Chain A
Amino acid sequence: MNIGYSLPTNKAHRRCDLVKLKTQGVNLYYCNFQALRNISLEIPECAITSIIGPSGCGKSSFLRIFNRMNDLIPDVRVEGTIEMNGISIYDKTVDVVELRKTVGMVFQKPNPFPMSVFENVAFGPRRHGINSRGILEEIVEKSLRQAALWDEVKDKLHNSGLAISGGQQQRLCIARVLAVEPSVILMDEPCSALDPIATLKIEDLMRNLASDYTIIIVTHNMQQAARVSDMAAFLMMEEDRAGILVEYGPTSQVFTNPRDKRTEDYITGRFG
């Protein structure tokens, strides 16, 4: 598969190399309503994959399959194969709590907890058993640096996580996910609630993170997908409102030379 960017020459062991995500024939039902039909694709590791498509076609539902957040919704049914490293993540023996440590999520609306900045980032490590103050301080600083937020909050670590701007809150949420040391980061329209400057900062952040993490981003902003991602998946609703995968390939190819006419229509703005 032609990824379309050059692999870094230092091939030392990267966390993102540890996971290979694959879906095959995935169907998703909310009660009797089919939200997704027959989605099959392989997510490349250490790259950014974007999922684009018109509103309501099931992009977020598809994203939430990877960390089983759909399990929280009553009457949800998932069919098909969803594998990480060859093992189905919907297998009965899979510990969902462990899965969510490996596959982290950033939500559309920044959702910092009503605690201090420090406690927000330390939340994950604390729940997983790390209690030593020294270690937590190290983890918090490292995560905030990775999220490009350290310089802005290093003197305000004990202020509330809610007392910072929207863009900073979203980077705080990203730092919170990074503190748990995932291999995959799922981003559900992370910039849609932010202003353009904050958006660009987060896009820069994503590109930096992509060398160590596998990132899947849902976005309805096509320019963002074109700017940021290596692979692009175009989802669309069929007449019965089930979402299908229309096209999937390297971003440069999907945007400049789409194989499917529907993709071309969407990219050029004829609908959506």
Chain B
Amino acid sequence: MSAKSSHRLAMAFIWGGGAITVLILVSIITYVFANGFQVINWEFLTTPPQGGLSGEGGISTAIVTTLYLVVITTVLLIPPGLGAAIYLAEYATDNWLTRTIRYGVETLAGVPSIVFGLFGFALFVTVLHFNFSLLSGALTLVCLLLPTLIRTAEEALKAVPPGHRDGALALGATKWQTIQHVLLPAALPGIVTGIILCVGRVVEETACLYVTLGGSAAMPTSLLSGGRTLSLHLFYLAMETRAFDKAMGTGVVLIATIIIINTFTNWLSRRFQTIMSGAS
């Protein structure tokens, strides 16, 4: 095969792959929007669902529950995640213990979310008596997302040019001062992107929360209240009621939320790049 033909063939595969990906994305979004758009109105977004088998009502409690869960999970996730990342990137020497920790983190990142869900059910819901609650859900999500955040944050810290580290230490800064004032700010774009990715996963997570949040359609009033997130509500509507249009409507809100989160992440990432490289 001549160089030109194999080039054409490769291009065809590459473009084909891209086209298929876009096609899948467009199909899903079109299907959901086509079937769900008609139920979207202010009333839908502000009335609570009736729960049970009827499928009547809106999705207000689901929106609020999702928001609460995002906030609680993020607050619980960042200290241990960032702390572990800083430890692994800056303090840990390369010995069998650190290698084991890293291997554990890598493995956990691949464990399916339902396994984390069942673990959360056993530990938080049952043994610790938190029952089906925002707390149980959030703690389970923390376990699920910790490997992801640790990995992302560690990579962001390692990507800081060694010149910054050397420069700060050579000026008589202590190690912690270097981390606090040079490395963390420089790694911030990557870390923030990692956090927002975790937020995205909280919004989309279903299996994990199915066994820890319970199915209550009511508005949560405390950390120990149960509830349902948008993705869970979609699931219940689809499985337990005949309100397919409302399920798709929930899907529209979900997809819109994810698109907004991703667009914001991209914008923020580009903005950080501009600031960091001094082009502003």
Contacts and interface: CB of A to CB of B under 8 A. Distances in A.
Interface stretch (A30-38, A108-116, A144-152): A108-116
A176 interface: yes
B181 A123 contact: yes
A98 B276 CA distance: 30
Interface stretch (A18-26, A157-165, A213-221): A157-165
A8 interface: no
Interface in B138-168: 161, 163-164, 166-168
A113 B168 contact: yes
A180 interface: yes
A259 B60 CA distance: 89
A163 B171 contact: no
Contacts of A53: none
A127 interface: yes
B167 to A, nearest CB: 4
Contacts of B177: 127
B171 A176 contact: yes
A105 B163 CA distance: 12
B164 to A, nearest CB: 6
A101 B279 CA distance: 31
Given A127-B177, A159-B278, A113 B182 contact: yes
Interface in A174-194: 176-177, 180
B93 interface: yes
B172 A74 contact: no
B94 to A, nearest CB: 8
Contacts of A109: 163
A128 B168 CA distance: 12
Contact of B163 (A69, A107, A123, A128): A107
Interface in B162-198: 163-164, 166-174, 177, 181-182, 185-186
A104 B171 contact: yes
Contacts of A197: none
A161 B174 contact: no
Nearest to B178: A127
B interface, how many residues as a size bin? 20 to 34
A173 interface: yes
B221 interface: no
Nearest to A161: B278
Interface in B236-280: 275-280
A263 interface: no
Contacts of B277: 114, 160, 162
B173 A162 contact: no
Most buried by B among A105, A127, A160, A177: A127
Given A74-B93, A123-B181, A161-B278, A111 B171 contact: no
B172 A98 contact: yes
A112 B182 CA distance: 11
Contact of A128 (B172, B186, B275, B278): B172
A124 B167 CA distance: 10
A67 B181 contact: no
A173 B275 CA distance: 20
Contacts of A111: 161, 163-164, 166-167
Given A97-B174, A114-B185, A69 B169 contact: yes
A100 interface: yes
A72 interface: yes
A123 to B, nearest CB: 6
A100 B169 CA distance: 8
Contacts of A112: 167
In the complex, which of the residues A74, A111, A176 has the most CB atoms of chain B within 10 Å of its own CB atom? A111
A163 B279 contact: yes
Point out which of B171, B174, B186 has the most chain A C-beta atoms below 10 A from its C-beta.
B171
B278 A173 contact: no
B160 to A, nearest CB: 9
Contacts of A67: 170
Contacts of A162: 276-278
A41 B95 CA distance: 38
B164 A113 contact: yes
A104 B174 CA distance: 14
A140 B275 CA distance: 22
Nearest to A72: B169
A177 B171 contact: yes
26 contacts: A67-B170, A72-B169, A74-B93, A97-B172, A97-B174, A100-B172, A101-B172, A104-B171, A107-B167, A113-B167, A113-B182, A113-B186, A114-B164, A114-B185, A114-B186, A114-B276, A123-B168, A123-B171, A126-B181, A127-B173, A127-B174, A162-B276, A176-B167, A177-B170, A177-B171, A180-B171
Closest 10 CB pairs of A and B: A160-B278, A111-B163, A163-B278, A162-B278, A101-B172, A105-B170, A100-B172, A124-B171, A111-B167, A127-B173
Given A74-B94, A177-B170, 11 more contacts: A69-B169, A74-B93, A100-B170, A111-B161, A113-B167, A123-B181, A123-B182, A124-B171, A176-B171, A177-B171, A180-B172
